[in-house]
Structure 1
Amino acid sequence: MSDYLKRVIDYEIAQVFPQLPALCIAGAKGVGKTETAQRLARTTYQLDQVDTRTILQADPRLFLQQPPPVLLDEWQLLPETWDTVRRAVDNGAPPESFLLTGSASPKPGVQTHSGAGRIITLRMRPLTLSERGIATPTVSLRGLFAGEEAVTGSSDLTASDYADAICQTGLPGFQQLTGRALRLAVDSYLRDLMDKDIFAQGYFTRTPHTLRAWLRSYAQATATTASYAQILEGATAGEGDKPSSETTRTYRDFLTKLWILEPLEAWQPLGSGWKRLTSSPKHHLVDPGFAARLLDLESQDLLTPAGANMYGALFESLAVLCVRVFAQALEATVGHFRTRAGEHEVDLVLQGRGGAIVALEVKTANRVSDHDVKHLLWLRKRVGQKMRAAAVLYGGKQAYMRKDGIAVIPLGCLGV
């Protein structure tokens, strides 16, 4: 474990696990859940191994007798372990007794208790730029929430570096791969997802090519609010025999259960003064590198005139990934804001404890104009004192504060 990449979630686990008897780390396959959990566990059961499952099926309470913390890795492959942990918590298990990791929910039809109040779940996502070691944060999201005015620092990352980071993905196991090896690794991941993981969840499709086409179309819609009807049309253009809305809804459900789709919900402010706001989510895969690979785009393709629009969408998706990781550590929610007719929209609205708000726009450009901040200024005026900070995350070098109070922050400079 000497090559372990320090994660933001390590800070979260250190905050809560000493007070909790059971903690579940959930997220897509390959994001690093097992390695993170194993650093804390004294006993590990890897339930993706048939022999281990057989032993625990014969004696479901065996792991209760082992030195804690006990890690149940990929618990959903033996769902009764969840209920055993829940009952142990009900019976007074002390803090730091159990860790569970999961990259999916149990198969449909498998009944488990929700675990509400007994087993607390933390979401784990792919690596942020700083977790990969390619960026050094100089601006704290915590500081933005506190209303601190100091915005300083610079980033060496160029557009080429950001494009490379997108295509590299944030999976820890892929960080040292390049060229064909990287492409094969991402292709294999996506192929297993569509050919094996969804099947293991209990879903069988007679037209796997349609699922692949639908996921490519979803990738094409990254960072947009395109309707699911439009995504389906993009996947089946020119085909007379289209899958039903129920079939495509099933695609969404299963890919969400596997933590692969992570749409960004619309921020819905409270109060009667807000009218005609969109409720449509913005579409994002859990990692923008998956979208790039599904669309057969490499980093150099994103920097051509033909790839500019997709680069903008994937850069925004990379920003969403980083901000979601940081926001979770600060107990803040993340959404997007858009009026129904599109007169005003802000890429990211974060709401923290006590209703404090930070609004962020995302731009790939290496400079920020008055035009780029007009929606932030409008929203700040509407929100009032609850707006602690407004900023543009951009592809430039220098962090600074504009005269109008809007911060300008290179994406690589943002941290917790």
Structure 2
Amino acid sequence: MKDYKPRILDTILTSKLEGKGAILIEGPKWCGKTTTALQQAKSVLRMDNPLEKEQNLRLSKLNPLRLLNGDTPRLIDEWQIAPTLWDTIRYEVDQRGEMGQFILTGSAVPPDTKEITHSGTGRFSWITMRPMSLYESGESTGEVSLRALFDGNLNVDGVNTLDLDKLAFLVCRGGWPQAIGLNREPALQQAFDYFDAVVKSDINRADGVNKNPERVKRIMKSYARNQGTQIANTVIAKDIESNESLLINEDTVQSYIEALKKIFVVEDMPAWNPNLRSKTAIRTSDTRYYVDPSIASASLGIGPEDLINDLSTFGLFFETLCVRDLRVYAQSLDGCVYHYRDSSNLECDTVIHLRNGCYGLIEIKLGGNDLINEGAKNLIKLKDKIDTSKMKSPSFLMVLIGVGSYAYRREDGVLVVPIGCLKN
């Protein structure tokens, strides 16, 4: 068995257990939810254990309290298989009157919530877990800390050890714990296995409706081609028609994408809405992203060499990798990640906005002086649009790059930071 690699979520879970009776960890399959929960659980119930599944399902209806007996925190793994447990856990938390009683993990939203009568407000706390960031997997040096930047320490310094070939491999391998440390080909195969599992079975768990595997493949391919954009479902349908020779309507696209969201395969990014000096209209459509870039590469059947030979596509997939890592890091700072685009087509790839109102503006570029200069120019332009009489000034402006030797601060104040140097 592999040694456990510490996760940023470890400290979040510890803190949540001190303040709530039950914690729900959600996220895609294979991202490490159960393994992380087991580090703090004192007993465990595995609802998907094939040897006990039917018995556990019967007990969940006849005597659910029996399933909750055990040392605490008690882990209920894949709880959504028996949704009736939710209300029982909520009731038991009230009866015990103590914190840190249960950890629930799940890789899908329950398809049928009729048996859940209480939201869990006040008793439950929710945590979203994602595949590993480069800092968690050991591929980022962590010399530049987002927390330190928000604290005002902007004199960044760091050495990037990732070259273009290594970066292409990391995009296609993804942040799946099972892939970390494997030889090159087995590591790359993990994402293809994940894609196959989604297409053949996992997507059907979202709503209990069997879906056409070929349609799932075509929609996932189109999603991969359109990462980092705000295109509508009608455009995805047309893209599938033109590239995949398959007629599909907007409603079908919508239903399949909603299913992918319910099993945490895709995680779109909402728009940021700052106070501006001008009356520029802000576009509010979500930006399309997979939860991990390797799902996109597997969807298109491509590998690292293909990305090296198509730097435009590489840039889009690299952006998805950065968004994944920024989400992991921001979560530990009580922050969320947004995008910005207005009617003048001024864009900012990511905005990390913390609960206390602080925020940082980040443009993502694969590398190269021209692209870095372009990103810095956009950041300064957006900064100048923000009405600082109504909200704080940005804590930092950053161009987040893939290829580049060092982290440094430019004369205009914009930070240039390789993803291989960043941590939370």
Give the Cα separation in 1 of the matches to 2:158 and 2:84: 50
**Residue in structure 1 matching 2:225, options 206, 220, 228:** 220
Asked whether the 8 Å contact 1:337–1:349 carries over to 2, the reply is yes
Instruction: Give the aligned partner of residue 74 of structure 2.
Output: 70
Letter of the 1:25 partner, please give it: I
Give the Cα separation in 1 of the matches to 2:134 and 2:243: 40
How large is the RMSD of aligned CA atoms in angstroms? 2.0
TM-score (norm 1): 0.94
Asked whether the 8 Å contact 1:213–1:236 carries over to 2, the reply is no
Give the Cα separation in 2 of the matches to 1:144 and 1:224: 28
1:226-279, CA deviations, whole angstroms, 9 ceiling, x for partnerless residues? 222221212222788723322111111111000011011111124684531111
Instruction: Give the aligned partner of residue 136 of structure 1.
Output: 141
Q: Name the SS for the 1:279 alignment partner.
A: coil
Letter of the 2:102 partner, please give it: F
Give the Cα separation in 2 of the matches to 1:382 and 1:359: 13
Whether 1:192 and 2:197 are equivalent positions in the alignment is: yes
Runs of 5+ unmatched residues, structure 2: none
Greater mean alpha carbon deviation, residues 386-395 or residues 104-113: 104-113
Q: CA separation of 1:54/1:233 partners in 2, compared to 1, >3 Å: closer, same or farther? A: same
Q: CA separation of 1:285/1:240 partners in 2, compared to 1, >3 Å: closer, same or farther? A: closer
Give the Cα separation in 1 of the matches to 2:216 and 2:55: 33
Whether 1:299 and 2:299 are equivalent positions in the alignment is: no
Asked whether the 8 Å contact 1:47–1:53 carries over to 2, the reply is no
Asked whether the 8 Å contact 1:223–1:284 carries over to 2, the reply is yes
Q: Name the SS for the 2:158 alignment partner.
A: coil
Instruction: Give the aligned partner of residue 45 of structure 2.
Output: 45
Instruction: Give the aligned partner of residue 349 of structure 2.
Output: 347
Q: CA separation of 1:337/1:36 partners in 2, compared to 1, >3 Å: closer, same or farther? A: same
Instruction: Give the aligned partner of residue 365 of structure 1.
Output: 367
TM-score (norm 2): 0.92
Percent of pairs with identical residues: 31
1:153-302 equivalence runs, <5 A:
153-205=158-210, 207-237=212-242, 242-270=247-275, 273-302=278-307
Letter of the 1:398 partner, please give it: Y
Q: Name the SS for the 2:384 alignment partner.
A: helix
Give the Cα separation in 2 of the matches to 1:241 and 1:156: 43
Instruction: Give the aligned partner of residue 155 of structure 2.
Output: 150
1:7-86 equivalence runs, <5 A:
7-50=7-50, 51-52=52-53, 54-55=55-56, 56-57=59-60, 58-86=62-90
Asked whether the 8 Å contact 1:316–1:362 carries over to 2, the reply is yes
1:348-398, CA deviations, whole angstroms, 9 ceiling, x for partnerless residues? 111113311100011111446433311100122223442111111112121
Shift of 1:295: 1.1
Give the Cα separation in 2 of the matches to 1:141 and 1:239: 41
Instruction: Give the aligned partner of residue 387 of structure 1.
Output: 394
Letter of the 1:40 partner, please give it: Q
Shift of 1:339: 1.2
Give the Cα separation in 2 of the matches to 1:408 and 1:271: 25
Asked whether the 8 Å contact 1:63–1:70 carries over to 2, the reply is no
Asked whether the 8 Å contact 1:376–1:390 carries over to 2, the reply is yes
Q: CA separation of 1:97/1:274 partners in 2, compared to 1, >3 Å: closer, same or farther? A: farther
**Residue in structure 2 matching 1:408, options 389, 397, 416:** 416
Q: CA separation of 1:168/1:239 partners in 2, compared to 1, >3 Å: closer, same or farther? A: closer
1:164-199, CA deviations, whole angstroms, 9 ceiling, x for partnerless residues? 111111110122344553454322322221221222
Give the Cα separation in 2 of the matches to 1:181 and 1:156: 23
Letter of the 1:326 partner, please give it: Y
1:309-332, CA deviations, whole angstroms, 9 ceiling, x for partnerless residues? 110001111110000000011011
Q: CA separation of 1:286/1:224 partners in 2, compared to 1, >3 Å: closer, same or farther? A: same
Give the Cα separation in 2 of the matches to 1:138 and 1:225: 33
Q: Name the SS for the 2:396 alignment partner.
A: strand
Shift of 1:203: 4.2
Q: Name the SS for the 1:387 alignment partner.
A: coil
Asked whether the 8 Å contact 1:391–1:406 carries over to 2, the reply is yes
1:74-96, CA deviations, whole angstroms, 9 ceiling, x for partnerless residues? 00011111111111122243111
Shift of 1:2: 5.6
Give the Cα separation in 2 of the matches to 1:370 and 1:32: 38
Give the Cα separation in 2 of the matches to 1:276 and 1:91: 51
Shift of 1:47: 0.5
Whether 1:99 and 2:100 are equivalent positions in the alignment is: no
Give the Cα separation in 2 of the matches to 1:319 and 1:274: 31
1:45-81, CA deviations, whole angstroms, 9 ceiling, x for partnerless residues? 0001241451433421013331111000000011111
Greater mean alpha carbon deviation, residues 157-166 or residues 194-203: 194-203
Give the Cα separation in 2 of the matches to 1:117 and 1:250: 32
Asked whether the 8 Å contact 2:172–2:298 carries over to 1, the reply is yes
Q: How many residues align?
A: 413
Give the Cα separation in 2 of the matches to 1:185 and 1:293: 9
Asked whether the 8 Å contact 2:401–2:417 carries over to 1, the reply is yes
Shift of 1:16: 2.3
1:101-125, CA deviations, whole angstroms, 9 ceiling, x for partnerless residues? 0000111354313212211110100
Give the Cα separation in 1 of the matches to 2:341 and 2:38: 42
